[in-house]
């Protein structure tokens, strides 16, 4: 959520920068500032009424003490009117604050200056590419056919038990999935991240804190009886561990990791690009979250990018990094880098990670601050990234590592799987 004082100081710049998102901000920012003016004016009136009421109450007390009962009772009538005024002003102030907050929730984050303009994913900027695309054997198959051939993932059984988008991993497929989770966690812990095991459901305040609500409410599974939401990513519970916190220098740096299943309602469209593991309602992911002082956050972002590059180099998968354009940038992000693995069997790129700096956008919602060296309270910067989302990594391994003998396991994973081929 944008800060009102920053909107007031940078309105024209924000209007210009938000155009990168194809978001026309002028009218809504003008309304925000008008509401804030109304809030300030109402608060001043309320403070004046409360101060006058307090002054008169003290005066009444002195009059009763001095035996001036008649005068005291006359003034008491005035305090009754002041109480009514204060009640009306308090209700008005509450309404203005609620409307202001509701409006602020609808404004996306301001893009970082390096974010390119653009309307869709077609305008994203490729900034890095590594790895060789393998030459596959004749008759190479996409991963959903490989999963059936080697009996390692059963999509039909998942559909029977739950529905489309809930696959069942079995045998070596389940063991490879577990190996990837453990390997990703080990890499994160070695890099200095503290591992957490997190709840898979969150309350509304947590969804609001990281920006999934109200923006992505329709994409989240909502348990209405308890008013809880299944997490779309471990980012939500992990970042919300620090909601309503005041940090000090000794708390930094904060680096968290955790594995969770993730749940997303979006169904997507039909076709090969959403077949198999390409898009699921339930999937596994290892997440990274960092909380940093503003001056350190972009160095931290570079470190997260380097961490994921290291993992993909270890797995020897061909990949590229995209800087997302304004039209493809997530609602809460100031800057996002997407990692994509090349699927040779599908002849297309598959997104496997997004690494984002949200700057103060989430922290303002979370009321997450730190006390700087001067003793002033400032908002922190929050960052997160997938390291990694498993379905498309697994799809990339199955497709790019298929041989006449079977599916070769990347060398770095063999100590975790206990086998070197799926055959």
Q: Is 48 labeled as ligand-binding?
A: no
Q: Is 290 labeled as ligand-binding?
A: no
What is the side-by-side strand order in the sheet with 377-379? 246-247, 369-371, 377-379
Three-state DSSP state, 285: strand
Three-state DSSP state, 335: strand
Q: Is 181 labeled as ligand-binding?
A: no
DSSP code at position 396: H
DSSP string, 123-152: G-EEEEEESPPPPPPTT---HHHHHHHTT-
* C-alpha–C-alpha distance, residues 259 and 250, integer Å: 26
* C-alpha–C-alpha distance, residues 339 and 392, integer Å: 11
Q: Is 265 labeled as ligand-binding?
A: yes
Q: Is 53 labeled as ligand-binding?
A: no
CB-count exposure of residue 414 (10 Å: 0-12, 13-18, 19+): middle
Q: Is 266 labeled as ligand-binding?
A: yes
Q: Is 352 labeled as ligand-binding?
A: yes
- β-pair partners for 378: 370
Using CA atoms, how far residue 252 sits from 116, 134, 147, 283, 377, in Å, is 31, 42, 44, 31, 15
Contact (CB, 8 A) for 176 and 422: yes
* C-alpha–C-alpha distance, residues 34 and 41, integer Å: 11
Q: Is 384 labeled as ligand-binding?
A: yes
Residue 356 host element (H or E): strand 348-359
- Which amino acids are annotated as binding site for L-serine, given as ranges? 233, 264, 287, 384
- Which amino acids are annotated as binding site for ATP, given as ranges? 264-266, 351-354
- Which amino acids are annotated as binding site, given as ranges? 233, 264-266, 287, 351-354, 384
């Amino acid at each position: 959520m944008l800060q009102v004082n920053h909107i007031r100081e940078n309105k024209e710049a924000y209007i210009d920068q938000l155009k990168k998102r194809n978001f026309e901000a002028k009218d809504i920012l003008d309304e925000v500032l008008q509401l804030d003016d109304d809030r300030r004016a109402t608060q001043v009136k309320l403070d004046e009424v409360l101060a006058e009421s307090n002054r008169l109450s003290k005066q009444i007390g002195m009059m009763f003490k001095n035996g001036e009962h008649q005068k005291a009772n006359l003034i008491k009538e005035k305090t009754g009117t002041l109480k009514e005024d204060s009640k009306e002003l308090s209700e008005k102030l509450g309404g203005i604050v609620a409307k202001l907050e509701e409006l602020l929730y609808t404004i996306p984050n301001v893009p970082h200056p390096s974010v390119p303009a653009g309307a869709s994913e077609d305008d994203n900027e490729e900034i890095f590419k590594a790895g060789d695309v393998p030459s596959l054997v004749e008759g190479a198959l996409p991963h959903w056919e490989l999963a059936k051939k080697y009996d390692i993932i059963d999509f039909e059984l998942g559909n029977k038990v739950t529905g489309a988008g809930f696959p069942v991993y079995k045998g070596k497929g389940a063991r490879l999935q577990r190996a990837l989770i453990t390997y990703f966690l080990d890499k994160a812990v070695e890099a200095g991240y503290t591992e957490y095991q997190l709840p898979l459901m969150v309350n509304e305040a947590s969804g609001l804190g990281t920006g999934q609500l109200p923006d992505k409410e329709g994409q989240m599974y909502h348990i209405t009886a308890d008013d809880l939401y299944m997490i779309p990513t471990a980012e939500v519970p992990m970042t919300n561990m620090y909601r309503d916190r005041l940090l000090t220098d000794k708390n930094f740096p904060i680096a968290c990791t955790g594995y969770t299943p993730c749940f997303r309602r979006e169904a997507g469209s039909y076709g090969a690009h959403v077949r198999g593991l390409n898009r699921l309602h339930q999937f596994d992911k290892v997440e990274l979250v960092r909380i940093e002082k503003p001056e350190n956050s972009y160095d931290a972002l570079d470190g997260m990018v380097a961490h994921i590059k290291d993992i993909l180099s270890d797995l020897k998968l061909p990949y590229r990094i995209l800087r997302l354009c304004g039209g493809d940038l997530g609602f809460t992000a100031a800057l996002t880098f997407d990692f994509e693995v090349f699927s040779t069997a599908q002849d297309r790129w598959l997104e496997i990670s997004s690494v984002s700096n949200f700057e103060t956008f989430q922290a303002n919602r979370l009321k997450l601050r730190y006390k700087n060296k001067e003793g002033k309270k400032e908002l922190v910067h929050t960052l997160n990234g997938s390291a990694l989302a498993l379905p498309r990594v697994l799809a990339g391994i199955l497709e790019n590592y298929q041989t006449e003998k079977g599916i070769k396991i990347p060398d770095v994973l063999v100590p975790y799987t206990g086998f070197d081929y799926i055959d």
